[in-house]
Amino acid sequence: MKRTLFPLLALLMVVSLALPVLADRTSTRFKLHEPASVAGTQLEAGDYTLEVEGGKAVIKRNGDVVAEVACEVKENGTKYSRTSVLLSEGKVKEIRIGGKRTAVVFP
């Protein structure tokens, strides 16, 4: 009994430690309808993937990394109905993730 209990408890401990790390990761797809920049990197109009882990956002296009940017993740009181990109003077300021309460804010 002791031989099977110890490995099971060890596995449960590892899984429980990994869950907060997995919960801190956010990913979504978004579309730019016009060229814009994020933290000095120019992005063409088109489809992108946003991956956020901790305070860093990685923006990919066709699987290739096009920008790595510091960001802040904010939680809203209600869920966003769809993913939307907020632009100001041609710069991406915020990406609101549809189906979640999460917004990714760029400096």
pLDDT tens digits for range 41-76:
999 999 999 999 989 999 999 999 999 999 999 999
Per-residue pLDDT band for 26 (boundaries 50, 70, 90) equals confident
Rounded to two decimals, what is the model's pTM? 0.75
The CA-based diameter of the chain, rounded to the nearest angstrom, is: 66
Of the candidates 37, 32, 71, the residue with the CA atom closest to the CA atom of residue 52: 71
> Strand runs (DSSP E) across the chain, as ranges?
25-32, 36-38, 41-43, 46-53, 56-61, 64-70, 72-75, 84-88, 91-96, 102-105
Q: What is the mean pLDDT of the chain?
A: 86
Answer whether residue 1 shows pLDDT above 60: no
> Which residues fall within 8 angstroms of residue 57, CB to CB, at 6 or more apart?
50, 51, 67, 68, 69, 70, 71, 104, 106
